Amino acid sequence: MIRVIHLALLLLIATTAQSHNYILASDGDTVECVDRNKQLAFKNYLLRNHKIQETPSDYPIMKKVQKKSIWSTSEAQISTAKCEIGTVPIRQKEAISNHQRTPKTSTNSTFTPQHEYAEASVHAPPKLYGTRATINLWNPLVEDSAAELSISQIWLSSGDYDTHDLNTIEVGWQVCPGLYNDSKTRFFIYWTSDGYNITGGYNLEEPGFIQISNNIVLGGSITPISSFGGSQYEMTILVWKDRKSGNWWLSVGTNNTIIGYWPREIFTSLADHAVAVDWGGEIVNSQRFGRHTKTEMGSGHSPEEGFGKASYFRNIETVDCYNTFQSSQVIHPHAEITNYNISVFRTDDWGTSFFYGGSGSSHTHSGVAPLSLSFSLIYLIFSIFFIII
């Protein structure tokens, strides 16, 4: 009887292993190789009649070859997994993290964590059909691992947040312990079609993005990472709209490795074109009582420190209606908080670029409420004391 039970257990394990093809990715994460036609995207009712597009119909056209950088940089690599052709690697279920670009006002709390930015942008007209940029890679400190994050990414958007018609495509790297249960620098994608209300999500966690690559791991870690005053690593990201299918394709690296695409059916205002493209950094500040978070953006150093110390975006380009790369001659910098800043520049080899980031609050005074707040609390305590007596 015991032998029969043992054989049954072995059969169950073998059957499970066959139906769930789990393997280890290059960074040690466990992924499941899933049939490309059975990935989560096809549970989206908007894609019930969608046919997978195997390859882009064309690529954006370069007007001129980029010059070699006068600064020494190297290309980093995203985690990969050896899934069979026809399958895609999917990381195990992740936690839930609040990514929304503009925070909602909660009815259950008087406090809402603040999203803060150091970014540059362009706006239509003319209509925008994609973007390419090379992003420096770092591993910034995130103070509150449960509620905060640090992101460096590109945004393509259309629509309006207030009318719940904001559509976005977002790609880049992030340190987000609340999502991945670690502090590694990881590659991510995100999308929404209703201003972060119901639709959208990270990587392949929500039905939308269709992955084509059988080895790139969305949500996988990126290595190597830049070091202060040392070796500098970067990655090139390209998102563009296919003129025939209308799908938004994603590739990475200088060799344009295809990852997959966002089908046009999942969008409303972004189904045709983007009206804005943003590049830069974002953090979430969850600290209360006037103290600012120590969460770092980019390298954690100010843009004034320059190459090798401050994080950067370089060779920033957009894609026009003729599917041609256009160097973004004029971009509009914006930094909301003095803890993070941005400095735009242009060179022959790096084109339009910028340094950005910062260290958050001063480490010397971290954890200490501002002086004005302290006096206010003292005054309040004395007032209550005299009322009681």
SS3 361: coil
Q: How many CB atoms are closer than 10 A to CB 341?
A: 18
Q: How far apart are CA 2 and CA 62, in angstroms?
A: 69
Catalytic annotation, pick one of 170, 234, 296, 317 = 170
Which residue, 18, 28, 29, 52, is CA-closest to 247?
A: 52
Phi and psi based region of residue 346 (left: phi greater than 0; alpha: psi -120 to 50; beta: remaining):
beta
Strand pairing class (210-211; 74-75): unpaired
Catalytic annotation, pick one of 119, 143, 234, 282 = 282
Yes or no: say if 273 and 122 are a contact pair by the CB < 8 Å rule: no
Strand pairing class (130-136; 233-241): antiparallel
Here the tokens at position 270 are 């972004």
**Is position 206 annotated as part of the catalytic site?**
no
SS3 270: helix
**Is position 282 annotated as part of the catalytic site?**
yes
Q: How far apart are CA 36 and CA 50, in angstroms?
A: 13
Catalytic residues: 170, 282
